[in-house]
Structure 1
Amino acid sequence: MPLLDAFLLMMWFFLWILWFFLLFRVIMDIFRSRDLGGWGKTGWLVFTILLPFLGVFVYLIARGGQMADRQAAQAQAQDEASGAYASMAVPEGVGTADNLAKLAGLRDQGVISGADYERGREKILHQTAA
């Protein structure tokens, strides 16, 4: 197999994988979108499944600008939920060292992220200083 043929085969393979990522991203966005009703979601989904290339391109033209906004809103909601969980995990009336140790334990177990740990730590230290 000549080198150019191998290169073209790899290029088509990666473009095919990229296409599937784009298709799944659009399908996930259809389900994530709160401004579409059930019939709207069904219509876009059927259009995307029956005519995948045309459906994805039309969806990206019609609603692609809002995809990033919906993803950012979902990430923010997850961040707020993990922050609320971290604040609930640290009980009131326990010493500062105990609170910091429990918070570090949650971070080490992977229950909360490093950013959640830092927010919780700042909150504990701020409560202690006040």
Structure 2
Amino acid sequence: MNWFNDFWDVIVWFLWIYVVLAYLITIVFVLGDIFRDHSLSGWLKALWVICLVFVPILTVLVYVIARGKGMSERNARGPVTVSEPDDYHPHIYSPSPTDQIAQAQGLLASGSITADEFAALKAKAMA
């Protein structure tokens, strides 16, 4: 009879481990959805996170019931990717004036541009 009790103890432990892991995964999905949702203000995001810390089970249930449909739509959209760099930080994507002048100097040396065009490119790079 002792073996039978030990067997069920192991089964109960596995069940609890499953429940805890499922709950942790749910919390990770809820946190990811909170920060992925652009319609929530920063204060509401902070409130959801505070509620997750202090009343986690109830907060997850309320969040999934209240915002579950939007959660699945945001998850279906996938991550936001940037295909091309924007012009918000042009200094990151454009060469320095020294590089521009050196490139123009190379074009002048190869005969691709005239001295007047080189002077114009140099003035543009210095501006």
Aligned to 2:7: 3
The residue type equivalent to 2:64 in the other structure is: L
Ranges of 4+ aligned residues in structure 1 off by more than 4 Å: none
Matching of residue 12 in structure 1 with residue 24 in structure 2:
no
Matching of residue 68 in structure 1 with residue 100 in structure 2:
no
Q: How many residues align?
A: 81
Structure 2: 5+ residue stretches without partners = 85-127
Structure 2 counterparts to residues 1-130 of structure 1, below 5 A: 2-75=6-79, 77-78=80-81, 81=83
In the aligned structure 2, how far is the partner of 1:23 from the partner of 1:34?
19
In the aligned structure 1, how far is the partner of 2:61 from the partner of 2:52?
9
Higher helix share: 1
Give TM-score scaled by structure 2 length: 0.57
Aligned to 1:90: none
Once the two structures are TM-superposed, the CA of residue 74 in structure 1 deviates from its matched residue by: 2.6
Cα deviation 1:48-82 (Å, max 9, x = unaligned): 1111011111111111111111112234x44x84x
The residue type equivalent to 2:50 in the other structure is: V
Cα RMSD after superposing both structures:
2.0
Quick one: percent identity of the two aligned structures? Answer: 30
In the aligned structure 2, how far is the partner of 1:48 from the partner of 1:63?
15
The residue type equivalent to 1:20 in the other structure is: L
